[in-house]
């Protein structure tokens, strides 16, 4: 019952799409956190030597845009571009960044 509600809300047709979408979310989250590490090192922030009050906010701010880009890219690789493109636009609209798509 709940799966049918989720499919309707997300505008998808099959349970397989739900599985693929969950996989994309998981892979994207992992990839974004992995990619943020070399970027923080590149800009000179090291976890061992940088104050945690600086390191973690900067790292989180880096992860956010990396995640947004990867979500659409990995969604496309898994054949779910339309779902993730619409998801991305809705997310950025809620954050007040919808002007980026107009």
The total number of structural domains that make up the chain: 1
Of 88, 101, 98, 82, the C-alpha closest to 13 is 82
- Who wins on pLDDT, 100 or 12? 12
What average pLDDT does range 73-87 have in this prediction?
Answer: 94
pLDDT of 102 > 90? The answer is: no
pLDDT tens-digit series, residues 35-52: 999 999 898 888 888 888
Of 59, 54, 55, the C-alpha closest to 36 is 59
Range of the domain at 7: 2-101
pLDDT tens-digit series, residues 49-76: 888 898 999 999 999 999 999 999 999 9
Give first-to-last CA distance, the chain, whole Å: 37
């Amino acid at each position: 019952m709940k799966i049918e509600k989720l499919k309707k809300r997300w505008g998808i047709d099959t349970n397989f799409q739900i599985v693929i979408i969950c996989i994309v979310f998981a892979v994207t989250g992992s990839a974004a956190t992995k990619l943020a590490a070399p970027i923080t090192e590149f800009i000179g922030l090291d976890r061992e030597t940088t104050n945690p009050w600086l390191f973690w906010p900067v790292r989180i701010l880096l992860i956010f845009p990396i995640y947004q880009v990867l979500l659409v890219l990995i969604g496309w690789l898994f054949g779910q571009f339309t779902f993730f493109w619409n998801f991305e636009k809705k997310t950025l609209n809620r954050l007040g960044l919808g002007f980026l798509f107009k």
